[in-house]
Chain A
Amino acid sequence: MNYHWNWGIFLEQVKSGDETYLDWLLTGFGWTVAVSLSAWVIALSLGILLGVLRTMPSRALAAAATAWVELFRNIPLLVQMFLWFFVVPELLPREWGLWVKQDLPAKEFLTATICLGLFTSSRVAEQVRAGIQALPHGQVMAGLAMGLSLPQTYRYVLLPMALRMVVPPLTSELMNVFKNSSVAFAIGVLELTFQAKQMQEDSEQGIETFFAVTVLYFICAFTANRVMAVIERRTRIPGTIAGQQ
Chain B
Amino acid sequence: MMQGDFDFSVLVDSLPFLWTGLQFTLKLTMVAMLGGIAFGTLLALARLSPIAPLAKVASWYVNSMRSIPLVMVILWFFLVIPLITGTPLGAENSALVTFTLFEAAFYCEIMRAGILSVSRGQVAAGYAVGFTYSQNMRLVVLPQAFRNMLPVLLTQTIVLFQDTSLVYAIGAKDLLKAAEVAGKNYNRPVEMVVFVAIIYFVICSSLSFTVKRLQQRMAIKR
A positions within 8 Å CB-CB of B: 1-3, 70-71, 73-80, 82-83, 86-87, 90-94, 97, 175, 178-183, 185-186, 193, 196-197, 200, 206-207, 210, 213-214, 217-218, 221
Cβ of B51 under 8 Å from chain A: no
Q: In the docked arrangement, what's the CA distance between A231 and B170, Å?
A: 39
Q: In the docked arrangement, what's the CA distance between A196 and B79, Å?
A: 12
Chain B neighbourhood of A182, CB < 8 A: 69-72
Question: CB distance A75 to B197 under 8 Å?
Answer: yes
Chain A neighbourhood of B168, CB < 8 A: 78, 186
Question: CB distance A83 to B162 under 8 Å?
Answer: no
Chain A neighbourhood of B79, CB < 8 A: 200, 206-207, 210
Residues of B166-222 contacting chain A, CB below 8 A: 166, 168-169, 176, 189-190, 193-194, 196-197, 200-201, 204-205, 208
Question: CB distance B1 to A79 under 8 Å?
Answer: no
Shortest beta-carbon distance, A23 to chain B, in Å? 20
Q: In the docked arrangement, what's the CA distance between A225 and B50, Å?
A: 28
Question: CB distance A83 to B75 under 8 Å?
Answer: no
Chain A neighbourhood of B201, CB < 8 A: 71, 74-75
Q: In the docked arrangement, what's the CA distance between A178 and B68, Å?
A: 10
**Among candidates A79, A87, A90, A94, residue contacting B176 with C-beta atoms closer than 8 Å:** A79
**Among candidates A3, A77, A86, A206, residue contacting B190 with C-beta atoms closer than 8 Å:** A86
Q: In the docked arrangement, what's the CA distance between A82 and B69, Å?
A: 19
Question: CB distance B84 to A183 under 8 Å?
Answer: no
B positions within 8 Å CB-CB of A: 1-3, 6, 67-72, 75-76, 79-80, 83-84, 86, 162-163, 165-166, 168-169, 176, 189-190, 193-194, 196-197, 200-201, 204-205, 208
Question: CB distance B165 to A78 under 8 Å?
Answer: yes
Q: What are some 27 contacts across the A-B interface (CB < 8 A)?
A: A1-B84, A73-B204, A74-B200, A75-B162, A76-B165, A76-B166, A78-B165, A78-B168, A78-B176, A79-B165, A79-B197, A82-B193, A82-B197, A83-B197, A86-B189, A86-B190, A93-B3, A179-B70, A182-B70, A183-B166, A193-B71, A197-B75, A200-B79, A206-B79, A214-B68, A217-B68, A218-B68
Q: In the docked arrangement, what's the CA distance between A196 and B169, Å?
A: 12
Question: CB distance A210 to B3 under 8 Å?
Answer: no
Chain B neighbourhood of A196, CB < 8 A: 72, 75
Q: In the docked arrangement, what's the CA distance between A179 and B102, Å?
A: 14
**Among candidates B3, B75, B200, residue contacting A91 with C-beta atoms closer than 8 Å:** B3
Chain B neighbourhood of A82, CB < 8 A: 193, 197
| Sample of 15 more A-B contacts, CB < 8 Å, known A75-B197, A182-B70, A217-B72 | A3-B83, A70-B205, A74-B200, A75-B201, A79-B165, A83-B197, A94-B3, A175-B67, A181-B69, A193-B71, A193-B75, A207-B79, A214-B76, A217-B68, A221-B67
Question: CB distance B3 to A97 under 8 Å?
Answer: yes
User: Residue of B at shortest CB range from A93?
Assistant: B3
Q: In the docked arrangement, what's the CA distance between A221 and B65, Å?
A: 12
Chain A neighbourhood of B70, CB < 8 A: 179, 182
Q: In the docked arrangement, what's the CA distance between A207 and B204, Å?
A: 35
Question: CB distance B69 to A217 under 8 Å?
Answer: yes
Question: CB distance B69 to A180 under 8 Å?
Answer: yes
Chain B neighbourhood of A183, CB < 8 A: 71, 166
Question: CB distance B204 to A74 under 8 Å?
Answer: yes
Question: CB distance A90 to B190 under 8 Å?
Answer: yes
Question: CB distance A92 to B71 under 8 Å?
Answer: no
Question: CB distance A79 to B196 under 8 Å?
Answer: yes
User: Residue of B at shortest CB range from A210?
Assistant: B76
**Among candidates A75, A76, A90, A207, residue contacting B163 with C-beta atoms closer than 8 Å:** A76
Question: CB distance A193 to B69 under 8 Å?
Answer: yes
Q: In the docked arrangement, what's the CA distance between A100 and B65, Å?
A: 37
Question: CB distance B67 to A90 under 8 Å?
Answer: no
Shortest beta-carbon distance, B182 to chain A, in Å? 14
Question: CB distance B69 to A179 under 8 Å?
Answer: yes
**Among candidates B3, B6, B75, B208, residue contacting A92 with C-beta atoms closer than 8 Å:** B3
Q: In the docked arrangement, what's the CA distance between A109 and B80, Å?
A: 30
Q: In the docked arrangement, what's the CA distance between A1 and B87, Å?
A: 11
**Among candidates B67, B71, B194, residue contacting A83 with C-beta atoms closer than 8 Å:** B194
Q: In the docked arrangement, what's the CA distance between A97 and B204, Å?
A: 30
The 5 nearest A-B residue pairs measured at CB: A182-B69, A74-B204, A76-B162, A76-B165, A179-B69
